[in-house]
Amino acid sequence: MDTSVIWDKCLEELKYQVKDSVFTMWLRPLSAQVFDDQLVVHAPNQYFVTHVSKHHLADIEKLVQKHSSGNIASVVIRVDTSTMLAEPNNSDQSQSLDTAQALEKNKVLDKKSTVASISPINLSTDKSLSYLNPLFTFETFVSGKSNVLAYKACFDLGKRQSQSQHNPLFIYGASGLGKTHLMHSVAHRYLKLGKTFYYFSSEKFINQLVYALRNQKIEEFKKKIKRVDLLIIDDVHVLAGKTKSSSEFLSLFADFMVDGKQIILASDRHPSQMTEFDERFRSRFSWGLTVAVESPEMETRMQILQKKAKLSGVELPKECALFIAQNVVSNVRRLEGALNQVLANANLTGQPIDLDMVQYALKDIIAMRVQSVSMDNIRKVVAEYYDVSLKDLMGKKRTRSIARPRQIAMALARELTGDSYPDIGQSFGGRDHTTVMHACDKVAQLRNEDPVLDKEYKALAMTLQAG
């Protein structure tokens, strides 16, 4: 009996029975094998096992019966040990993926269980080193102007025949913008290609290094890591000031580069701004490709919301996505939090998702935003940012060091509050509305001409809108 033909036919029919987003997320990653009269469906991890068993097992069983002409008596869904995407245990949500050794330890599976018994490899305790979020894939990532270069660089690394020279690939940006999502996406692709990797948060990396050093197992630790094809370290800036850990990391870095193996690093800022590190680190971080992940623009925020809603089986009306995107701008994490609040409100009340319901569900978030972009707060934030006094910002001085921040504050007030030119003028020491108009035009011109000023303006706007 040809398992692949049976399973392909099942998938082909399932594709038309569920939404495209559901099929892409939950069903396409599955594979299957026949053992005697039982079809074993392999899922990447226990999250998939639970979800597919609950929502799709009955349909799969019917289709398997149909396409096997009744020769298959039962269907079982289990974790696929060949990918080693192990479940996080209660004591540590960081899981290891040392494929060869883990498979050696788990050749025998309990056929009655839906979960493969996987023994992760570790130097210290029976915990593991790496964990992948099953939802963090390229298929669920929304690419836009704010992250397109980082997305393309990561996607290129995940290609089967990739000859990428992006080594190391250094991704930087503020928290909650999608850096970890992209790195997990690359790791998922490596698994599908039969390659191995280690993913570390900087904290886990340091903890493992400290344990290895204390127990004189540093060479064993490094040897394990050097066996894999890909090394990912998130929040690498946390290594700053930890002399021994930093030194061992440089040694690993050098070995990976010599062997032509891929390294991906992530930080909250560009390597050149990581002044806590000496020049050796900053230069090595910049050897390959450095890409930024910035706050998503309006269009991308709307796409993120609608895609996340679809993955939850909900259609989010465009006007609702626009409203949320207008009021939550700081990062993707807060955007998702606002969407979750809307979905929870809809589930609890049974109300359809429309603009009135969304406005009610997010009333507290909106109130915080209104408060954060008040005229008083705009003046205060801008004054602090440019190190000028509120008295000077409101006063008559026209020196450039004061006039420019004043103009930026007026432009921000116009954009974020929507107040009229006369009202803004009054709040800045009784100035004429034409002064405010000139300030807004001047700032718009300078933002087009000066990338540094444009970046400062965006940073201020994000700070104010984030509350």
Tens of pLDDT, residue by residue over 303-344, are 889 888 888 888 898 989 888 887 777 678 888 888 888 888
CATH topology (fold) of 309-370: Helicase, Ruva Protein; domain 3 (1.10.8)
pLDDT tens-digit series, residues 78-99: 886 544 333 333 333 333 333 3
Q: Is the peptide bond between 44 and the residue preceding it cis, with omega within 30 degrees of 0? A: no
Q: Give the E-state strand segments of 145-268 in sequence order.
A: 169-172, 197-201, 230-234, 262-267
The predicted model scores a pTM of 0.56
Determine the average pLDDT of the residues in 162-171: 77
Q: Which residue in the block uniquely carries the two structure tokens 């190190």?
A: 387
pLDDT value of residue 265:
92
User: What's the pLDDT at 435?
Assistant: 92
Q: Which of 35, 128, 40 lies closest to 87, judged by CA?
A: 128
- Look at strands 38-43 and 31-35 and give their pairing: antiparallel
Check residue 93 and give its pLDDT: 32
Out of 64-78, 130-144, 380-394, pick the least confident.
130-144
Q: Does the domain at residues 373-466 carry the CATH identifier 3.30.1280.10? A: no
For 71, other C-beta atoms within 10 Å of its C-beta total 13
Yes or no: say if 300 and 145 are a contact pair by the CB < 8 Å rule: yes
- CA 242 from chain centre, in angstroms, equals 26
CB 328 within 8 A of CB 207: no
pLDDT at 441: 92
Q: What are phi and psi of 395, to 5 degrees?
A: -85, -160
* 21 residue type, one letter: S
- Out of 3.30.70.20, 3.30.420.60, 3.30.450.90, 3.40.50.300, select the CATH number for domain 138-292: 3.40.50.300
Tens of pLDDT along 243-276?
777 788 888 888 888 888 889 999 888 888 887 7
Residue 129 has pLDDT above 70, yes or no: no
Rounded CA-CA distance 234/134 in Å is 17
SS3 74: strand
Q: Which CATH architecture has domain 3-80?
A: 2-Layer Sandwich (3.30)
What's the pLDDT tens digit per position in 199-224?
887 778 888 888 888 888 888 888 88
The predicted pLDDT at position 236 comes to: 85
pLDDT of res. 117: 25
CB 222 within 8 A of CB 252: yes
Predicted local distance difference test score (pLDDT) of residue 330: 66
pLDDT of residue 183: 92
CB 192 within 8 A of CB 217: no
- In 169-285 the beta strands, taken as DSSP E runs, fall at 169-172, 197-201, 230-234, 262-267
Place of tokens 């005229």: 375
Sequence ranges of the domains in the chain = 3-80, 138-292, 309-370, 373-466
Q: What is the number of other CB atoms lying within 10 angstroms of the CB of residue 22?
A: 20
E strand or H helix that includes residue 42: strand 38-43
